[in-house]
Structure 1
Amino acid sequence: MEAIVSQAWPEWSGTLRKRSGGWNNTTYFVENSEKRAVLRIYDTHKDRNKIEFEHAVLQQLGQRVLRFKVPVPILTTTGETMVQIGENGKFACLFQYLDGDSPMEEEGSYLESFGEATGILSEVLSAIDPGLTPVYRPYYELQTSYPLCSVEVMRELCMNPPEPFTDLRDELMMLFNAYEDIIGSLNELEGLPHQLVHGDLNASNLLVNSEDPVQVSSLLDFEFCTYDLRVMEPAVILSGLLGHAEAEKKIRDFCRGFSRYIRLTPAEINAISELMMLRKIDVFLHFVSRYLEGTDEYQILHEQTKRLSADLIQLSAGTAEILVILQGEQGSARRL
């Protein structure tokens, strides 16, 4: 990795320190006596078009004056934003280092700022044209996005689980039932407003100000940015807030911040409950695909199945409350 940096980005040459965490990529901090950067290795695909789309969006965002920062690719000596490495053909890219801290898992003081940042980002992305065709499909195109996860394959996996998953029959059945319900209603979503969305905003993809941790300082990881439903952006975030300590306050804080910048239509608000469920099923299919193609050992899917089935129970119990809070904050914002 050090050789790659010194050849493709010689002025950034330095020592590398691997960052822990992350499901889809490997990340290194690159440090020398004068500056720091972040090296990213794309582990789950070798598709140049996906990365070019992501980088085109980031380069345009980097030219905007925003209240938060985004990772901007650093060009190689040949003027590209990425290099292909080794015999495995994976791609690597270098980003400017962004100061800040990852929020603590149960910390919620930054949620109003996060809502504001999400609203601002949504507003800005609606006006950006990267000039490229996205590779990632909208969330509601599940069957196109996950060709390994046909209804037949999912039925067999969930109703007749193989040995590593036989202790999760109830959880798998719950997820399969939700999958079938979602598949039957996806066509109704296509008429909602569409635009560019980040698609994976959550606590692991942001930084807060080290001196003032209630303020979001950066939004990260735009790998899955694509054209999708505008309302999918808050739906992804809200789907992850249930079940945590002080969930109602966190949801209210996020919705208050978001509603200062984005006015959702009644149809978008009504779709939130279905879209939160769609997010959970999308994550499930993502890890099923990784298991079927051999990217992950069975333990990863086992862990995700338990977590996601518990999330479905939380959604079932808390969705109505989310809608009431969101409608209230959207209404309050309109009166300001």
Structure 2
Amino acid sequence: MTRVAVATAFGGPEVVRIVDEALVKPSAGQVLVEVKAIGVNPIDYKLYSGAFGSDESTLPRHLGSEASGVVLEVGNSATGPAGPISVGDEVIVSGAQGAYAEKLLVPADAVLPKPESLSWEEAAGLLLVAGTAYDTLAVTNVSEGDTVLVHGAAGGVGSVVVQLAKAKGARVIGTAREVNHDDLRALGAEPVEYGDGLLGRVKNLAPDGVDVAIDTVGTDEAVDVSLALVVDKRRFVTIAAFERAGKDGFQSVGGGNPESAERRKKARLDLVKSAGAGDFGVTIAKRFSLDETAKAHEELKAEHPRGKFVLIP
């Protein structure tokens, strides 16, 4: 048996329950993982909120898509992106279904080696934000010498965007609450407060405009300021303002886009190796037990400390 978190109805975090489920042996191409830590993401609670539909045939909905742990059992031909998988391997699970669990049966293709340098928590919270960040930089072709405006630069995705863009030799201006400005400076970004007057504050820092804008928050302010600053709309991308992207003709990634999914999948190994080498990292803001899943979601929906939330089974 394994304990798992599921949404038993559509609504808020109050619909989340912890239940016992039977385990089955891995079949060919599958891996059973003992979970050590689980990444918590806004999409996890949005999927049962009703925002994407409320088909009751999908209930109970198993939650979570990323985790880290130790391989307990392997099926025949269990080969992941880095090669054959063995019992005892320390791994990162990415793109799984039902990762909020003590034990998790997944396709071998979802399993990557965990670098020793990463903690269980860092590994569990790595690939969703890193893959999204990588995707935004790829479609906007960020390169050395670019000035990049990052909206929500202190957030989970935004902070990785900052680090990856700096590694490419770009100048980064990042919007954030003042309480996070020192953290952004430590990452090499030039922080700016969002809110009324944002356009003027960015122009003061970059009087010649910016080459690229990356929006991780989806507000009209972020979109309007970016449209006023970026000449080439192909170099403005959002991960949240999909309606505005369609209306105003700039780029979006994620949201079920198959090209985005493929780019992120191909980048997984390189991103894990890069994180393991210390080229970039994720900040862990708070840890919760599996029993506290609903509490974690409630706090994630509100203003919260910078960094990722993780569950510990």
TM-score interval, smaller chain? under 0.3
Q: TM-score, normalised by structure 1?
A: 0.23
Q: TM-score, normalised by structure 2?
A: 0.25
